[in-house]
Amino acid sequence: DADVTQTPRNRITKTGKRIMLECSQTKGHDRMYWYRQDPGLGLRLIYYSFDVKDINKGEISDGYSVSRQAQAKFSLSLESAIPNQTALYFCATSDPGTSGRRGQETQYFGPGTRLLVL
Amino acid sequence: AQTVTQSQPEMSVQEAETVTLSCTYDTSESDYYLFWYKQPPSRQMILVIRQEAYKQQNATENRFSVNFQKAAKSFSLKISDSQLGDAAMYFCARNLRVTSGTYKYIFGTGTRLKV
pLDDT tier for residue B17 given thresholds of 50, 70 and 90: very high
Which of A24, A25, A34 is CA-nearest to residue A63?
Answer: A34
Give the one of A42, A45, A112 whose C-beta lies nearest to B108's C-beta.
A42
Instruction: Return the pLDDT at A99.
Output: 52
- Which residues of chain A lie closer than 8 angstroms to B105, CB-CB? 33, 45, 107
Residue B95 and residue B32 in contact, taking contact as beta carbons nearer than 8 Å: yes
The pLDDT of residue A107 is above 90: no
The average pLDDT across A74-94 equals 96
Pick from A16-30, A92-106, B34-48, B81-95: least confident: A92-106
A111–B110 CB contact, under 8 Å: no
Q: What is the pLDDT of residue A17?
A: 96
User: Which phi and psi (to 5°) does residue A85 adopt?
Assistant: -95, 5
**Model confidence at A105: pLDDT above 80:** no
Whether residue A1 has pLDDT greater than 70: no
Three-class SS state of B28: coil
> How big is chain B by its Cα radius of gyration, in Å?
14
Across chain B, mean pLDDT equals 92
Q: At a CB cut-off of 8 Å and minimum separation 6, what does B51 contact? A: B33, B34, B35, B58, B59, B66, B68, B75
Q: Which residues of B touch A (CB under 8 A)?
A: 4, 6, 9, 31-33, 35, 42-45, 47, 50, 52, 91, 93, 95, 97-98, 100-110
Dump the DSSP string for A73-101. Answer: EEEEEESS--GGG-EEEEEEEE---SSS-
Mutation target to probe the A interface, by most A beta carbons within 10 A, among B3, B4, B33, B45 is B45
The per-residue pLDDT for A95 is: 79
Per DSSP, helices labelled H in chain A are none
Contact B45 A92 (CB under 8 A): yes
Under 8 Å between Cβ of A91 and A6: yes
Please write the tens of the pLDDT for every residue from A24-62.
Answer: 999 999 899 999 999 888 899 999 998 899 999 998 999
Q: pLDDT tier at B11 (50, 70, 90 boundaries)?
A: very high
Q: Which residues of chain A does B53 touch, with a Cβ-Cβ cutoff of 8 Å?
A: none
Closest approach of B81 to chain A, Cα-based (Å): 26
Q: Is the pLDDT of residue B54 over 90?
A: no
Note whether A42 contacts B91, CB cutoff 8 Å.
yes
Which pLDDT score is estimated for A104?
Answer: 67
At residue B73, the pLDDT reads: 93
